[in-house]
Amino acid sequence: MNGVGATKRLADTTLISQAVQSRLKSDILDGQFTPGSKLGTAMLQERYDSSVGTLREALSHLLSEGLVEMSAGRGYRVAPVSRADLLDVSALYIELEERAVVDSVRHGDAEWETEIVASFHRLSRIEALPREERIRRSSEWLACHRAFHLALVAACRSRWVLRVRAGLYDHMERYRLISQKHRPLSIHKRREHELLRDAALGRQAEEVGTLLRRHLAETTDTVLRYAPQFMPEPGEPGSD
Amino acid sequence: MNGVGATKRLADTTLISQAVQSRLKSDILDGQFTPGSKLGTAMLQERYDSSVGTLREALSHLLSEGLVEMSAGRGYRVAPVSRADLLDVSALYIELEERAVVDSVRHGDAEWETEIVASFHRLSRIEALPREERIRRSSEWLACHRAFHLALVAACRSRWVLRVRAGLYDHMERYRLISQKHRPLSIHKRREHELLRDAALGRQAEEVGTLLRRHLAETTDTVLRYAPQFMPEPGEPGSD
DNA sequence: TCTTCTTTGACTTTCGAAAGTTGAGGGGCC
DNA sequence: GGCCCCTCAACTTTCGAAAGTCAAAGAAGA
């Protein structure tokens, strides 16, 4: 059965093309593909077990998220990374995240509070695990960390700020993961997350904004410091 | 010839899928499709004379730009419009545009200046035409107006600010065009554009930023005032 | 007459093959 | 020996048909 295929579903209500897109995105963020490397259809077809058309649709979507690049007639490549791009992404991301969280704290309801408490708890549980276990389940940590930060800003009333922020989060995560390969192990900022949670629940909007800005700026600094390819070049000015 | 088709090109180095995407986008911005209406493949196939796969690729791209929406298994629809969405898009767009132009004025070079002068001139030429002619060539006016505003911010060093701004510009243009159907004729702001040009060439960064912010805010006000569907609803607060 | 089940038709989604393009390597010419 | 052209294989891009799904219309029962 299912000879030529059509609308076959994997899990719940996800389409194949969405599943492929999601997996491909994870693999790019994860550093499974070297930045700048070619994404040939033959290779992808084998890796994700789907047809050219489906792959193309996924790639097309990732293209406008900025995770892959395309040149007409020459196929797709993984978007390159650079120190300049990291600084650029980071600056805009921090600004939008701060703006979103301030609005979110001011307008969040009871359900919003609950989700913050819940997602923080989930994150803590994973971070409390023994080192070995934590490494094995690192993708789970990623999801929880993402969920916690999303919960903080979830009540922001601007759909557009949230949308753009979401795209930038992906790029930030990619940089974090790339740099993580050159570090001992991620320095989990349990204490900072806790402060964020408490200030959010205490409705101290400005305070949360400041904490978050500092939290993110430190993250970017860490990435810059540990990944050799993001070291400032001799001739270039740092960030001025 | 060209029986089953493959990589056939239209103009220069444009792919069919890009051409279709571009035309579809224009038609959506233009209001050729009612917001919220269905984008069935059969209809699109006839309209743009291309295959399902190609259309799907174009739609997929427009999906992540936010111009169309998709529900799994039920196809694509034109993204709806609303007063709330307009206010949201507008607020973020104005902020990014101002930020971009300030940085642009501070770092633009000679070539940047030239492009501003040139694009302003092109825009003026069209606006100086007799009414009839201007209406007939309204798509040309759109392109020139877009080019002028792009020229102003082109020297902004943040690729990401420019990228996000570009997406938001499309949505703003859509709202402008929708409201234009309910107005006598677009009130061209020749004088304001001239002031923008001169302040930019005079390198008065803050001044340009303020002018631009006001210019855009007025545009949004005009859209809100003239399109009946964007009037504030009785029970709802305006924008607080 | 209203509800529910069934059937059917239109539609979305997926696939694999066909057509055309790119760029590299080998052979010929200056 | 170096440069240019031609050929060819690998690849991208496009297409149309096949498989599966959704929802509306019609029929049967209460």
Q: How far is B9 from chain A (nearest CA, A)?
A: 11
What's the confidence (pLDDT) of residue A6?
39
Q: How far is A128 from chain B (nearest CA, A)?
A: 36
Q: Domain for residue B225, yes or no?
A: yes
Q: Does A15 touch chain B (CB under 8 A)?
A: yes
Which residue ranges of chain A lie beneath pLDDT 50? 1-12, 238-240
Say whether both A88 and A102 belong to one domain.
Answer: yes
Contacts of B72 in chain A (CB under 8 A): 13-15, 18
What's the confidence (pLDDT) of residue B236?
53
Say whether both A151 and A172 belong to one domain.
Answer: yes
Say whether both A199 and A225 belong to one domain.
Answer: yes
Q: Domain for residue A216, yes or no?
A: yes
Task: Give residue B240's identity as a one-letter amino acid code.
Answer: D
| Rounded distance between C-alpha atoms, residue A235 and residue A218, angstroms | 25
Say whether both B44 and B141 belong to one domain.
Answer: no
Contact, A59 vs A47, CB < 8 A? no
Report CB contact under 8 Å: B159, A56.
no
Say whether both A168 and A212 belong to one domain.
Answer: yes
**Max Cα separation, chain A?**
62
Give the domain-ending residue among A78, A105, A130: A78
Nearest CB to A13: which of B18, B64, B72? B72
Which residues are registered as beta bridge partners of A68?
A: A78
Say whether both B63 and B94 belong to one domain.
Answer: no
Nearest CB to B53: which of A53, A92, A157? A53
* Rounded CA–C1' distance between B223 and D14, in angstroms: 41
Say whether both B111 and B139 belong to one domain.
Answer: yes
A184: which DSSP letter? S
Give the domain-ending residue among B41, B56, B78: B78
* Rounded CA–C1' distance between B53 and D20, in angstroms: 17
Residue whose entry in the numeric block shows the structure tokens 């209809």: B43
Structural domain count of chain B: 2
What's the confidence (pLDDT) of residue A185?
63
- Closest nucleotide (CA of B56 to C1')? C13
Distance of CA A148 to the CA centre of its chain: 12
Distance of CA A63 to the CA centre of its chain: 16
Contact, B86 vs B224, CB < 8 A? yes
| Rounded distance between C-alpha atoms, residue B121 and residue A49, angstroms | 54
What's the confidence (pLDDT) of residue B185?
64
A110: domain CATH number is 1.20.120.530
Say whether both A58 and A103 belong to one domain.
Answer: no
Q: Domain for residue B238, yes or no?
A: no
Say whether both B183 and B167 belong to one domain.
Answer: yes
Nearest CB to B56: which of A14, A57, A164? A57
Report CB contact under 8 Å: B164, A61.
no
What's the confidence (pLDDT) of residue A12?
42
- Strand C nucleotides, any atom under 7 Å from protein beta carbons: they are 11-23
* Rounded CA–C1' distance between B6 and D6, in angstroms: 24
Say whether both A127 and A162 belong to one domain.
Answer: yes
Interface of A with B in 215-234 (CB under 8 A): none
Q: Does A75 touch chain B (CB under 8 A)?
A: no
Contact, A103 vs A157, CB < 8 A? yes
Contact, A55 vs A44, CB < 8 A? yes
* Rounded CA–C1' distance between A7 and C18, in angstroms: 24
Q: Which of B53, A48, A19, A165 is nearest to B44 (CA)?
A: B53
pLDDT values of chain B reduced to their tens digit, one per residue, 240 residues: 333 333 443 334 578 889 999 999 999 999 999 999 999 998 999 899 999 999 999 999 999 999 999 988 889 999 999 999 999 999 999 999 999 999 999 999 999 999 999 999 999 999 988 988 988 998 999 999 999 999 999 999 999 999 999 999 999 999 999 998 887 666 668 889 999 999 999 999 999 999 999 999 999 999 998 887 787 766 555 444
Task: Give residue B144's identity as a one-letter amino acid code.
Answer: C
Domain that holds residue B122: 83-230
| Rounded distance between C-alpha atoms, residue A173 and residue A146, angstroms | 9
B18: domain CATH number is 1.10.10.10
DSSP helix/strand/coil, A24: helix
- For D16, which residue's CA is nearest its C1'? B51
Q: Domain for residue B240, yes or no?
A: no
Q: How far is B120 from chain A (nearest CA, A)?
A: 29
Say whether both A176 and A116 belong to one domain.
Answer: yes
Contacts of A66 in chain B (CB under 8 A): 163
What's the confidence (pLDDT) of residue A5?
36
Q: At what angle do helices A83-107 and B159-180 cross, to 10 degrees?
A: 50
Q: What is the dihedral of CA B97, B100, B106, B108, to 10 degrees?
A: -100
Q: Which of A145, A111, A127, A224 is nearest to A185 (CA)?
A: A127
What's the confidence (pLDDT) of residue A10?
36
| Rounded distance between C-alpha atoms, residue B231 and residue B82, angstroms | 10
Q: Does B61 touch chain A (CB under 8 A)?
A: yes
Contact, B193 vs A121, CB < 8 A? no
Say whether both A106 and A9 belong to one domain.
Answer: no
Give the domain-ending residue among B50, B78, B106: B78
Contact, B149 vs B196, CB < 8 A? no
Contacts of A91 in chain B (CB under 8 A): 158
Number of CB atoms found within 10 A of residue A230's CB: 21
Report CB contact under 8 Å: B61, A66.
no
Contacts of A163 in chain B (CB under 8 A): 66
* Rounded CA–C1' distance between A9 and D30, in angstroms: 38
Determine the straight-line distance between the first and last CA of chain B, rounded to whole angstroms: 62
Report CB contact under 8 Å: B85, A159.
yes
